[in-house]
Amino acid sequence: MKKSKCHLSSNPTHAQMIKFYSKTNVKILYNTYRYYSNQTSRGNNLIQKRRVVVSGMGLVTPLGIGIENNWKSLLSGQSGIKDIDFKDFPIKLPVKVAGQVDKEQFQLSASKDVPIEYKLASSDFIKYAIVAAQEAISDSSLNFKEMDTSKQERYGVYIGSGIGAFDDITLTNSRLNQQPSLSKVSAYFIPRILINEVSGIISMIHQLKGPNLSLSTACATGAHAIGESMRKIQYGDSDIMVCGGTEACLNPLAVLGFHRMNALSTKSNQSKPFDKDRDGFVMGEGAGILVLEELEHALNRNAKIYCEITGYGATGDAFHISSPDKEGKGALRSMQLALKEANIQSPLEIDYINAHATSTPLGDQIEQNTVVKLYESFGVTNQNHKITMTSNKGNMGHLLGAAGSVESIYSILSLWNNLIPPTLNLNEPSPNLNINLVQNQPLQKTISHVLKNSYGFGGTNASLVFSKYIS
């Protein structure tokens, strides 16, 4: 009897194995690859990655409190950047403006139900996150406090900050210098400056007893918090994650520090991403918090689903303490990893890119060049496809650790509404690549996938893909 062509002996040679697997079973191998590409190994176990959706969002930014106020301000081209004056600082600073949260409006939005101990232990960056988290949780129609403990243990918090409570440190030190006394240091001083207290306090307010930690990756913090929260849900460690970034460091010493790095705008005193006259970024403050949820969990409670998070990439440049790699290699790999996980075969499927673009001469140029390289790596030249990419930092400045999550929320709102807000203060693009940077007016466009990029000092990169939810 003639042996089957698919037969492989019990003790095959190396050459026989190569021939068998490369010719006979190509289709089997391909189907096996497709099955396992959406799985991952954990120890000795192979698990199916679960789908993750966004079911709630909350914002505190220089453009206002709440997602509705922010979205209206973005579409109408408003700016939250205002004059700032550090009167008591011994040195006159050349920095004249900053993206500032309206304190009166914020106080009206602050919850009266937060226990006094948590208020005393909260510096501004924590307070911003508390309000943004309350909106996000309310937006998701969840009430964690009414759930039994077993469910509370499946819900976690990953909220980070790039710098944290700079004001508390400098003001406490100033008081001590003026009047040396033990009483000049608050009993809440340490909790107020610890970055992880933001996740801790929000977990206490809402009784979230699952994974709880805070990330700090400079200006990529918010995006990394979203990506790592996505992983927690994908791998089954949690069903819901409250995540994002927050920042409040409009402190004269912090401003001076960034100025000494030649990072801030001092000539135009404007945030002008991609514009030929950009001369540095404008500092800002705020918080952006999202509720991520495992898909079946969201469907079972008939939750509103803004989008699905389909891809996440995280890489390091290993290049410089503050400057990006001029070749953009780490940023390119981050985008490629995010697209690969999202099963996007070509960047032509990406309808919109929300850029990091802080308004620095070098950074904005490198970012544009790297995006072009992304398309070229898939055989797409920027001559035959116009890329749509914007930056939100012209409206509010650079929110540092909160930038990635705030701008992710803006990206999701663009996906949800098929509408892209314009890049503010963009008069003459530079470099003038074949990229639609959306000047002057919002762009109506059907959007299925958005790519969001965030980068930070130390060469840290994060990329996220948000996709329209398809059942």
Q: Please report where in the chains the tokens 């927050």 appear, as a residue.
A: 246
Nearest to residue 74, comparing CAs of 366, 400, 354, 434?
354
Is residue 321 within 8 Å of residue 165, measured between CB atoms? no
To the query of whether residue 243 is one of the catalytic residues in this protein, the response is no
Q: Which residues of 332-368 are buried (b: 16+ CB within 10 A; e: fewer)?
A: bbbbbbbbebbebeebebbbbbbbbbbbbeebbbbbb
Catalytic site residue from 206, 259, 356, 449: 356
Catalytic site residue from 206, 297, 398, 449: 398
Residue 304 has what DSSP assignment? Answer: -
Q: Phi, psi at residue 240, to the nearest 5°?
A: -140, 140
Give the angle 453-139-396 at the CA atoms, nearest 5°: 40
To the query of whether residue 7 is one of the catalytic residues in this protein, the response is no
To the query of whether residue 249 is one of the catalytic residues in this protein, the response is no
Is residue 123 within 8 Å of residue 193, measured between CB atoms? yes
Is residue 422 within 8 Å of residue 352, measured between CB atoms? no
Is residue 428 within 8 Å of residue 275, measured between CB atoms? yes
> What is the rounded distance in angstroms from the CA atom of residue 188 to the CA atom of residue 183?
12
Catalytic site residue from 219, 243, 249, 307: 219
Q: Which residues are catalytic?
A: 219, 356, 398
